[in-house]
Amino acid sequence: MVIGTGITACSILTNYCLFQRECLSIHVGQAGLQIGDACWELFCLEHGIQPDGTALDSKKDQLENAKMAPMAASFNTFFSETRDGKHVPRALFMDLEPTVIDGLRTGKYRSLFHPELLVSGKEDAANNYARGHYSVGSEIIDLVLERIRKLAKPCSGLQGFLIFRSFGGGTGSGFTSLLMEQLSIHYNRKTKLEFCVYPDARISTAVVEPYNSVLTTHSTLEHSDCTFMVDNEALYDICHHQLGVEHPTYTSINRLISQAVSSITASLRFEGTLNVDLIEFQTNLVPYPRIHFPMTAFAPFISADKAYHKAFSVSDITTACFACPNQLIKCDPRLGQYMACCLLYRGDVVPKDVNAAIAAMKSRHSVQFVDWCPTGFKVGINNHPPTVMPGGDLAKVQRAVCMLSNTTAVVEAWARLDHKFDLMYAKKAFLHWYIREGMEEGEFSEAREDLAALEKDYEEVGQSFRHDGENEY
């Protein structure tokens, strides 16, 4: 079994100093901003950057942070460095109303972010896709594109964009759709990866979430290369059942998301023995352009008070990633077949243990791969151990793994969403709020038909080559 190529590690690491491979992060709407706040807080901790952007580089600081990764050139994929040595995130924060952005402007990390890259409008999208995409969003899109151009101009080798948002919000759904269309025009060949908060099965923050989610999935389907989905209900369950947090807050669940994002991007920010580049995610996870919604899982989740009583081997954390409780979205992976699986290890991990763990998983009947993809696994190994927030819910561990799996089981989430959409659309409920902002009713039926086709696509890729004695393809 081949778990990766030597070319990946060598070529990227050798050429980093000569040719940067920058990634730009775009955080849209309240969910995107709050996830971004948690992510950059963690990135700064991992790289030894103070809230004002200065690096921990004194001898005393180095002694106190002996395990801190060296400030390698690969670090600059996510941060740019000013002449006076300050590190500025390559990130844009955008919302149609100012409340959350103002929190960043006055918060602990107010000196970290470039003020021009904190963009806010004056009028909220009010949980309405049409306001985010048409009426309100169209007024601010040119300003946002101009700021993205400023962010991209100094880059010597822009890899692509990481976009953080929710499916259910007005700005997250509507404005992101508008933005993705423009990014496809201006940055056509650049990779666009999304981290999206998917509507929960039972918990809802807005009645019209199904409308917004179906509309935005339809309008971004051809513009997004890969979309990693998480949902709040799954994260609440992890906080409650595995970490023992009685009343999880958004800070708690956003810090869980940030751990997954950190593991996914670790190979872009740190040198390692087997690194995974941004474009490799889509190459290895997306068998067909429309089938680009991998499920995300993470292990181990250990609360700080249990840290000294448990030790997890590579085999233990690998097995945990295939279990339901460690999925960051409410879907049962046992109900589907895997098309591709990317295992991103970090910390005290060696290839021999990874090979053994994967061989053990392949022998289990609960892990089923489609018969047209016999290899199945892509592996990344990064030697930098996970970092946790001081005083947070998670314990410091020696090793961790984030699993990105493209599986037909995710069709369960689409079917759930489509059913909720159908219930409201059958009565034309709440439709007038969208029509008055410039949408046409035909867009709803068109989006719903596209989602039905997406469900069908997932069913077809899960079918065998030989079904009832006939060749399906």
- Residues labelled catalytic: 280
Angstrom CA distances, 176 to 136, 154, 296, 452, stand at 12, 24, 21, 22
Residues ≥6 apart with Cβ < 8 Å to 438 = 130, 134, 135
Q: Do 113 and 92 meet the contact criterion of CB atoms below 8 Å apart?
A: no
Between CA 108 and CA 362 the distance in angstroms is 46
156: exposed, middle or buried (Cβ count in 10 Å: 0-12, 13-18, 19+)? exposed
Query: Closest Cα partner for 317 from 402, 243, 258?
Result: 402
DSSP class of residue 67 equals T
Q: Do 66 and 289 meet the contact criterion of CB atoms below 8 Å apart?
A: no
Q: In terms of C-beta distances under 8 Å and separation of at least 24 residues, what long-range contacts does 362-367 make, across chains too?
A: 366/322, 366/334, 367/322, 367/338
DSSP class of residue 26 equals E
Kind and range of the H or E run holding 466: strand 466-467
Largest CA distance in the chain: 71
Between CA 275 and CA 6 the distance in angstroms is 9
Phi, psi dihedrals of residue 100, rounded to the nearest 5° = -70, -40
Between CA 88 and CA 52 the distance in angstroms is 9
